[in-house]
Amino acid sequence: MKTKTNIFLIILLCLSIVVVSTSCSSGVDKPSSEGAENNEGDVIVDYPNRIITIVVPYAPGGTHDLLSRLLLPYFEKRGYKMIVQNITSGGGEAGLYEVVNGPNDGYTLVMFSPEVASCQYMTGALEHPFWRELKYLGNFVLDPSIVMVKGDSPYNSLEELFEAAREKPGQLKWNCLGARGKNAFEAYNIFKETNTEFNYVPVDGIPTIKTNLLGGHTDVGMFQLSEGVELHKSGDIKILGVAAKERSVFLQDVPTFAEQGYDLYFGLTRCWAAPPETPQEICDLLTSVVKDVYDDPEAQEAMANMNAAAFWMEPDELKDFGEHWYAIYQEMDARIKKE
Amino acid sequence: MAGLHTLFEGLIQCIVDPVIIIYMVFGTLGGMIFGAIPGLTAALGVSLMLPFTFYMTPVQGIATLIGIYVGGISGGLVAAILINIPGTAASLVTCFDGHPMAKQGRAIEALSYGVTSSLIGGLFSGVALVLLAPQLVKIALLFGPWEYFAMGIVGLSIVVALSSENMIKGLMGAVFGLLLAMAGCDTINSIPRFTFGYWQLNPGFDTLATIMGLFVIPEVLMQVRNLDKEIIKTQIDMDKSLFPKLSMFKGRYKALSISAVMGTIIGIMPGVGQSTASLLAYNQVRTMSKHPEEFGKGNLEGVIASETANNAVCGGALIPMLSLGIPGDLVTAILMGGLTIHNINPGPLLFRDNIGIVGNVFASYILSCLIMFVLFMFLMRFFVKVLDVPMQYLLPMILMMCVIGTMTVNNRIFDSWIFLIIGVIGYLITSVGINLPPIVLGYILGNIIEMNFRTALVSFSGDVTTVFKRPISCSLLILALFLIIYPLLKDMTRKKKQQQIAGR
């Protein structure tokens, strides 16, 4: 009997040590609207005096994660030591909550796009309109959405595709990531503006969209440009249109939506933000360093090698971007609910 | 033969820069240790290593990551055989027959066959990768939502075969597993189910936490319960040699080849994974075996099937990664990140623009399989010494590693709670006689089945009959039907014969 009690005690001891130590070091799991203490005064004199953590709420090796990691050396050259921490979960809420509820001393930043935050607030995944309060530090990349078909598909332009859809409403399959998220709303926005009706089939990952396209299990696919460049260059898929203001430098031969008669612009920003209560001086300092790295030709080249379109946006522009899309998402959501 | 040429170039790179081999050895060793410890996974190892590879040359970085991958997937068999807790989800099927073998005093035999099967499975898919990547990837593209659904149903039909003793309990277990898989937001309507208001459960119960919970906690609690009873300690037949003999697979070539082929093919299909592949291979080998009733009680072919298939998946997963830039599983997705960080964009043009990297992947994969085998031969004695540690210290340590490991997946403690809670529920369920395999089956396959069923319905506008109009899905469903009826019939005729004999 003694061995049994021994074991239970040891198990209990070990587990409690682990649980207590890890919950102390990581932030609170539940979202709350209060933040940590606010350090005022001459914090800026001493900043930064230790490593800054960039929380990336997405899996390591993904496009968001890679962009952050790629840029770290350029910040280090300017005296800003940073590391990336991945806190993954679903659409990225866990990482965001972690940072928002954590310290505001400028040593923890998060990589979260305002338009994604506004979308998730609308769908209820986020409980608070964070995009209005986060202190953005400037935007690195604006990855436009692309619409594509299989390489040997009969459609060679957006118009041909939309014409075919108008002839057979609801028959052509459109694959996108997620049933009620940013991509879904963009897709429904397209349907509305082009007066077409596609069979919207949500899937769980971009690899699935790619295999579905290549295997003929879907007619159309839509995701971000950086993910599709390689397959387009090899001819396996055909990108029919880019939802950007100008032609992409990576796809010179592909016209934009605007060139084909549809004034539609969608993109995914890639930016860093500080938690809401971070002192403004620190945010301004960080923004200027971010801009400096952005302008660095080596950094620009690194981003270009990832097929990521560099696009600078000021912090206020990012906030407005999120607001602009919030309104559109609400409209699209109402439309989807009606169906 | 272009593939062989590329492989050759890759091997030359390793000779020119021997540091690559050193990184590969350490990577494989690290992967094996991660794989052997329940709670730590190959994916964790690879993602931990990813930032470091930034500072290496691309070739060194990829070699290290692939080493961790192969080592991690192979290492799981140690814990699975010795303590009935899979080191990684990939080896969970190895528990079914590996541990009973260990209890019968055939641990070294199980380990030897397991490691050699891993080597053979890995090499088989490596050869497929080198020679046939472009052709094989086309097979993966044939699989749309209906095909994935049908494959999931084939997998689920194993439940019938595994539950021949008590059908009701087996089905209950499978349904419980399916229910666990349903938690989370569904992909079609984004409506949260079974989340109890916790936003953390929106993506569902974390896979690692659930599988570890179902395996580890019931096993630990059961061991604790039995500690003061006279327990036959798992005897290690140390006098037997670990090293394989040439004749060891005599009469078992069918099991070996089926598992290798199935593992490779399933590896090519994105999102399916090692556990499903080993489950399906296990079932296939069992169905075609002369003594299916011995499976689950220590049949060597069960271990062979599981370990061959799960290693074959690794090579298979590299095929779409290299050919199309589409990751086959979580680890290959991180591997792709490892390439992108060095400005190499995986995609169909990789073969044209960066054939050196392709050769490196080929060479690293095949060399890692061999290195893994050699390391196991030398180090198995140390791994086995784990059993000398008294249970009262070993079990809490395993629990701790699992708590830590489940926490590292999403960097939050919530998943560790899931591990503990599901584990306790799993213990309660298994203690009333519902066995673990059907539960795990239901859980792993539940997602594939439900998500693809609904995606297919949306895709085909609600027309269910289309599943029969497509050749692959239709034949898979027929296979599933066969796999359900055949064991039932066999069982019925066997019972009838027994009655006849008894009646005389």
Contact B347 A18 (CB under 8 A): no
Contact A89 B391 (CB under 8 A): no
pLDDT in tens, A323-333: 999 998 888 88
List the one residue out of B422, B307, B405, B335 whose CA is nearest residue B63: B335
Contact A61 B338 (CB under 8 A): yes
**What angle separates helix A63-77 from helix B330-340, to the nearest 10 degrees?**
40
Asked if residues A80 and A54 have their Cβ atoms less than 8 Å apart, the reply is no
Confidence (pLDDT) at A34: 35
Residues of chain A with Cβ-Cβ distance to B143 below 8 Å are 211, 215
Contact B187 A202 (CB under 8 A): yes
Residues of chain B with Cβ-Cβ distance to A199 below 8 Å are 458-459, 461
Contact A230 B228 (CB under 8 A): no
Q: Which of A8-17, B55-64, B325-334 has the highest mean pLDDT?
A: B55-64
A219 touches chain B (CB under 8 A): no
Confidence of residue A27 (pLDDT cuts 50, 70, 90): very low
DSSP result, A308-327:
--B----HHHHHHHHHHHHH
List the one residue out of A27, A40, A37, A36 whose CA is nearest residue A282: A40
- Long-range contact list for B164-170, CB < 8 A, 24+ apart? B164/B293, B164/B487, B164/B491, B166/B433, B169/B433, B169/B434, B169/B435, B170/B434, B170/B435, B170/B438
Residues of chain A with Cβ-Cβ distance to B412 below 8 Å are 26, 29, 87, 89, 94, 98
Residues of chain B with Cβ-Cβ distance to A302 below 8 Å are 343
Confidence (pLDDT) at B242: 67
A236 touches chain B (CB under 8 A): yes
pLDDT in tens, B91-142: 999 999 999 998 888 888 889 899 999 999 999 999 999 998 888 888 888 8
**Is pLDDT at B503 greater than 90 in this prediction?**
no
Confidence (pLDDT) at B365: 95
B50 touches chain A (CB under 8 A): yes
- Integer Cα distance of B97 and B103 in angstroms: 10
Asked if residues A93 and A130 have their Cβ atoms less than 8 Å apart, the reply is no
- Integer Cα distance of A114 and A228 in angstroms: 23
Contact B54 A69 (CB under 8 A): yes
A4 touches chain B (CB under 8 A): yes
pLDDT in tens, B416-466: 999 999 999 999 998 888 888 889 889 988 888 998 999 999 888 888 888
Residues of chain B with Cβ-Cβ distance to A214 below 8 Å are 141, 324
Confidence (pLDDT) at B67: 95
Q: Report, as an integer, the average pLDDT of A189-202.
A: 90
Number of other CB atoms surrounding residue B179 within 10 Å:
15
Asked if residues A111 and A299 have their Cβ atoms less than 8 Å apart, the reply is no
CA distances from B263 to A24, A80, B253, B371 (A): 43, 46, 15, 21
CB proximity under 8 Å: B 399-458 to A: 399-400, 403-404, 407, 409-414, 416, 420, 451, 455, 458
Confidence of residue B231 (pLDDT cuts 50, 70, 90): low
A113-148 as b/e, with b when 16 or more CB fall inside 10 Å? bbbbbbbbbbbebbebebbebbbbbbbbbbbbbbbb
**Is pLDDT at A155 greater than 50 in this prediction?**
yes
Partner-chain residue, chosen from B50, B270, B409, that has the shortest CB–CB distance to A208: B270
Q: How far is B411 from chain A (nearest CA, A)?
A: 5
- Mean pLDDT, chain B, whole residue set: 86
**Is pLDDT at B39 greater than 60 in this prediction?**
yes
CB proximity under 8 Å: A 312-331 to B: none
Confidence (pLDDT) at A28: 37
pLDDT in tens, A89-128: 767 888 888 889 888 888 999 999 999 999 888 887 788 8
Pairing of strands A108-111, A267-274: antiparallel
A98 touches chain B (CB under 8 A): yes
Q: What is the ipTM of this complex?
A: 0.82
State pTM to two decimals: 0.84
Confidence (pLDDT) at A45: 67
